[in-house]
C-alpha cells in the first residue's frame, strides 16, 4: 500500500513521488516480518511519508527541478502513443535509508497500479550489496506481471506475453555526505513491454545514459523519450534508431524463437558506428557463468532443467550475474520457447509470491536471486496463504550457485558445492538431479581450454550457444520426423494436424529410429531406457506444448502468407 501524492504538475507528463508505508518494513535480508517497526515508529514513518513532498521541505535542488518542470514541460512534447510502441516510462527510484525505496520520477507520467509501483521500487535495488565495490554502476533487469490496466500499450506481434513487463535498471551508488550512511543510491529504470535486454539495458542505459550527474535531469529524460517517440514502430528486420548521438542498428528476428541470432557478426569494434544490436540476444556471457559454476559439467544439468521446464534458481551476490544467467539459460533451448515463468531477478517483494500471480505456473520457473532466503520461501511458503498451498506439492528447485572463483597464481579455483553449503547457514534441500544426456567431453575440454586461454567473452558464448543449439536441433529431430510422418503433405498447411500427437506412437517411432542425442548408460538397453524416459518427460512438460504452439503458429502464418 502506498501513499500517493500527486503534485499539481504530475498530469503534465512528470511523475509522482511514492512513499512506501509500513507493509514493507520487514527486513529484506532475512524476510523476517517480525522486524517490522513498532506501531509508533510506523506512525512516524507515515507522517514522514505523507509529508515528503510539500515544497517547503524540499531541498533547493528539488525546488529548482520542480520550477524547471513547471515552466518547461507544460505538456508532453511528443506523441505518447509513439513512445509507448517502444517503452512505457522512465522511472527513477531513490533509496531512502529511513523509508525504503521510493519513486523519484516517472516520465512520462504513467498511471501504474500501486502494486506495480511497489514491484518496480523493490526490484530496482539489489537486496544484497557487494561491500567491496560501492562505486561501480551495476545493471540488471527484471520481469514482472503487471496489472496497470490504465496504461494503454499498443499490441504487437513481437510481444508474446503482454501481461508481463520488463524493468531495465542502472543502479548507482555515490558517496553523499548529506544522507545517513553516507551513500546515496539510485536506480534508473526503463519499463518496457519488450524483452529487448540488449537494447534497453546494454545500450540505452549502461552505455548511453550513464547520467550526467547522480540525479536524473528532467531534460535528459525528456530528450530520451522525445528521441524514442521519433523511432519507427518496432518490426522484424533491421532498423536504424538514433539515440543521444549514437545510431543503433537494431535487428529484430521474425520470431522470438529463432536460435543463434547475432552469433555471426562483423567484428568491426573499432568503429563507433553504427552499433549492431540483436534484439533477442541474451545479455552477458557464458564465460562468466562457466567460471562461476562449481563444475562445468553442470551446464548439461542446467540445459536439461530448462528444456524440461523444471524449477531452476540462480543464486549470486550480484543481480547482474543472476539476471544475465537467466537470459543466457533462456536462450539455450531455442527454438523451444521457454514455457515457464522466467524472472531474471526477484527480491523478497516479488509478485511471484503474491496472490495476484495465481500460482498457475509456479512449478515451472527460471529465476535469478541474490537473497538466499528466497530459496527457503520458494520451498516452504507460509501456510497462511491458501493460494500457495500447491507449493507443498512442488518439486524443490535446482539451485545454481554462481560465485566468483578464487584466482590463485593466475589459475581459477572454483568454489566447490560443499563450500556453498557451508556458506548458507540454513538448509536448502536441493536434490542433485541426475543428468540424462551424456556429456560431450570434447566440447567441455574445448570450453575449458578457451576459458583458461583467456578467450573473449563473445568467443566463449558463441561456443556454448552453438553447442547447445546443435544439441537442441538433434533432440528435436525425432519429434520433427514423427510429425512429418503424421502430417500428410495435403494436410501440412492445417495447423490443427499437430493436435493428433500420440505419445505411444511417437515413442515407438523413437525406439525404431533413435535420436541423435546421446544418453547416459553403460549398455544400449540402459541408454534406450534413458532416452525414452527423457523424451517422455519432455512430451509431458509445458515445453513440448509451447514448442507445438509455436510450430502451429508458424504454420498458420506461412499459410496466411500464401
Partner 1 sequence: MSEGGPKPSSSVKLVLLGEAAVGKSSLVLRFVNDDFQENKEPTIGAAFLTQKCNLPNRTIKFEIWDTAGQERFASLAPMYYRNAQSALVVYDLTKASSLTKAKHWVAELQRQASPGIVIALVGNKLDLTTQSTGLEGSMGGLSLSAAANSGADGDDDEEEEDARQVTTAEAKGYAEEEGLLFYETSAKTGHNVSEVFTAIANAIPESTLKTRGGPGTGRGGAGGSSGDTFGGTGGVNLSAAGETNKDACAC
Q: Is 34 in the site for partner 1 (CB under 8 A)?
A: no
* CB of 85 vs partner 1, minimal distance in Å: 17
CA distance 214 to 236: 36
- The three cell numbers of residue 290 are 562457466
Q: Does 137 bind partner 1 (CB under 8 A)?
A: yes
Alpha helices in 57-153 (DSSP H): 60-72, 80-84, 114-123
Among 152, 213, 153, CA closest to 188? 213
- Measured CA to CA, the distance from residue 235 to residue 251 in angstroms comes to 9
**Peptide bond preceding 274: is omega within 30 degrees of 0, i.e. cis?**
yes
Task: Give counts: helices (H), strands (E), the chain.
Answer: 16, 16
Comparing CB distances to partner 1, the nearer of 272 and 524 is 272
Q: Does 226 bind partner 1 (CB under 8 A)?
A: yes
Q: Distance (Å, rounded) from C-alpha 344 to C-alpha 471? A: 24
Say whether residue 170 binds partner 1 (CB under 8 A). yes
Residues 263-292 that bind partner 1 (CB under 8 A): 266, 268-276
Q: Which is nearer to partner 1, 72 or 429 (CB)?
A: 72
Check: CB of residue 248 under 8 Å from CB of residue 199.
yes
> Given the DSSP bridges, would you call strands 164-175 and 138-145 parallel, antiparallel or unpaired?
antiparallel
Per CB under 8 A, 242 contacts partner 1: yes
Query: Rule CB under 8 A: which of 42-71 touch partner 1?
Result: 68
Which of the ranges 241-249, 306-314, 396-404, 508-516 carries the binding residues for partner 1, by CB under 8 A? 241-249
Cell numbers for 511: 525406439
Query: Exposed e or buried b for every residue in 263-296, given b needs 16+ CB within 10 A?
Result: eeeeeeeeeeebbebbbbbbbbbbbbbbbbbbeb
218 binds partner 1 (CB under 8 A): yes
Q: Give yes or no for residue 224 binding partner 1 (CB under 8 A).
A: yes
Grid cell locating 163 = 501481461
Interface pattern 461-500 for partner 1 (x via CB under 8 A): ----------------------------------------
Return the range that interacts with partner 1 (CB under 8 A); candidates 5-13, 29-37, 208-216, 505-513.
Answer: 208-216
Nearest to 142 by CA among 349, 363, 290: 349
Q: Is 78 in the site for partner 1 (CB under 8 A)?
A: yes
**Size of site (CB under 8 A) for partner 1:** 44
* Nearest distance, CB of residue 136 and partner 1, angstroms: 6
Q: Give how far Cα 212 sits from Cα of 216, 218, 319, 522, Å.
A: 8, 11, 24, 62
Indicate the SS3 state at residue 456: coil
Nearest distance, CB of residue 454 and partner 1, angstroms: 17
Of the residues 8, 131, 245, 499, which one makes contact with partner 1 according to CB under 8 A:
245
Q: Which of 97, 212, 254, 383 binds partner 1 (CB under 8 A)?
A: 212
Q: Is 244 in the site for partner 1 (CB under 8 A)?
A: yes
Q: Which of 46, 129, 230, 511 binds partner 1 (CB under 8 A)?
A: 230
313 beta partners:
367, 399
Q: Which is nearer to partner 1, 248 or 436 (CB)?
A: 248
Give the shortest CB-168-to-partner 1 separation in angstroms: 13
Rounded Cα–Cα distance for residues 280 and 195 (Å): 7
Nearest approach, Cβ of residue 68 and partner 1 (Å): 6
In the complex, the residues that contact partner 1 under the rule CB under 8 A are: 68, 72, 77-78, 136-139, 170, 206-208, 210-213, 217-220, 222-227, 230, 242, 244-247, 249, 266, 268-276, 320
Amino acid at each position: 500500500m502506498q501513499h500517493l501524492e500527486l503534485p499539481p504538475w504530475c498530469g503534465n507528463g512528470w511523475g509522482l513521488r511514492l512513499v512506501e508505508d509500513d507493509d514493507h518494513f520487514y527486513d529484506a535480508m532475512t524476510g523476517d516480518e517480525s522486524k517490522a517497526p513498532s506501531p509508533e515508529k510506523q506512525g512516524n514513518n507515515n507522517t514522514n511519508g505523507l509529508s515528503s513532498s510539500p515544497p517547503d521541505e524540499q531541498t533547493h535542488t528539488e525546488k529548482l527541478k520542480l520550477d524547471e518542470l513547471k515552466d518547461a514541460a507544460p505538456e508532453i512534447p511528443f506523441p505518447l502513443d509513439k513512445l509507448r510502441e517502444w517503452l512505457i516510462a522512465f522511472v527513477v527510484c531513490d533509496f531512502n535509508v529511513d523509508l525504503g525505496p521510493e519513486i523519484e520520477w516517472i516520465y512520462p507520467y504513467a498511471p501504474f497500479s500501486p502494486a506495480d509501483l511497489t514491484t518496480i521500487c523493490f526490484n530496482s535495488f539489489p537486496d544484497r550489496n557487494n561491500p567491496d565495490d560501492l562505486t561501480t554502476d551495476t545493471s540488471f533487469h527484471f520481469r514482472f506481471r503487471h496489472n496497470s490496466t490504465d496504461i494503454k500499450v499498443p499490441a504487437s506481434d513481437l510481444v508474446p506475453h503482454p501481461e508481463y513487463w520488463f524493468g531495465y535498471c542502472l543502479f548507482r551508488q555515490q558517496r553523499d555526505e548529506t544522507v545517513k550512511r553516507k551513500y546515496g543510491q539510485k536506480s534508473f529504470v526503463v519499463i518496457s513491454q519488450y524483452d529487448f535486454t540488449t537494447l534497453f539495458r546494454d545500450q540505452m542505459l549502461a552505455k548511453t545514459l550513464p547520467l550526467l550527474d547522480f540525479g536524473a535531469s528532467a531534460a535528459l529524460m525528456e530528450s530520451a523519450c522525445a528521441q524514442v517517440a521519433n523511432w519507427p514502430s518496432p518490426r522484424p528486420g533491421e532498423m536504424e534508431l538514433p539515440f543521444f548521438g549514437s545510431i543503433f542498428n537494431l535487428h529484430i528476428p521474425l520470431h522470438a524463437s529463432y536460435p543463434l541470432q547475432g552469433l555471426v557478426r562483423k567484428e568491426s569494434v573499432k568503429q563507433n558506428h553504427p552499433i549492431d544490436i540483436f534484439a533477442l540476444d541474451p545479455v552477458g556471457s557464458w564465460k562468466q557463468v562457466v567460471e562461476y559454476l562449481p563444475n562445468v559439467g553442470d551446464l548439461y544439468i542446467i540445459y536439461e532443467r530448462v528444456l524440461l521446464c523444471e524449477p531452476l534458481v540462480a543464486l549470486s551476490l550480484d543481480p547482474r550475474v543472476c539476471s544475465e544467467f537467466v537470459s543466457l539459460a533462456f536462450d539455450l533451448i531455442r527454438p523451444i520457447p521457454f514455457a515457464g515463468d522466467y524472472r531474471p531477478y526477484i527480491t523478497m517483494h516479488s509478485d511471484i509470491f503474491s496472490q495476484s500471480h495465481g500460482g498457475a505456473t509456479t512449478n515451472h520457473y527460471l529465476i535469478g536471486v541474490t537473497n538466499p532466503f528466497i530459496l527457503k520461501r520458494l520451498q516452504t511458503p507460509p501456510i497462511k496463504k491458501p493460494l500457495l498451498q500447491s507449493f507443498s506439492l512442488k518439486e524443490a528447485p535446482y539451485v545454481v550457485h554462481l560465485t566468483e572463483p578464487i584466482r590463485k597464481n593466475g589459475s581459477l579455483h572454483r568454489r566447490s558445492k560443499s563450500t556453498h553449503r557451508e556458506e548458507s547457514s540454513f538448509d536448502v534441500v536441493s536434490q542433485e538431479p541426475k543428468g540424462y544426456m551424456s556429456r560431450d567431453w570434447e566440447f567441455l575440454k574445448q570450453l575449458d581450454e578457451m576459458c583458461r586461454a583467456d578467450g573473449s567473452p563473445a568467443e566463449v558464448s558463441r561456443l556454448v550457444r552453438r553447442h547447445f543449439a546443435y544439441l537442441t536441433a538433434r533432440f528435436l529431430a525425432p519429434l520433427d520426423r514423427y510429425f512429418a510422418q503424421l502430417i500428410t503433405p495435403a494436410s501440412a498447411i492445417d495447423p490443427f494436424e499437430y493436435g493428433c500427437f500420440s505419445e505411444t506412437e511417437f515413442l515407438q517411432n523413437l525406439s525404431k529410429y533413435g535420436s541423435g542425442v546421446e544418453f547416459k548408460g553403460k549398455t544400449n538397453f540402459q541408454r534406450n531406457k534413458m532416452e525414452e524416459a527423457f523424451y517422455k518427460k519432455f512430451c509431458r512438460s509445458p515445453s513440448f506444448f509451447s514448442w507445438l504452439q509455436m510450430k502451429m503458429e508458424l504454420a498458420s502464418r506461412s499459410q496466411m502468407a500464401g
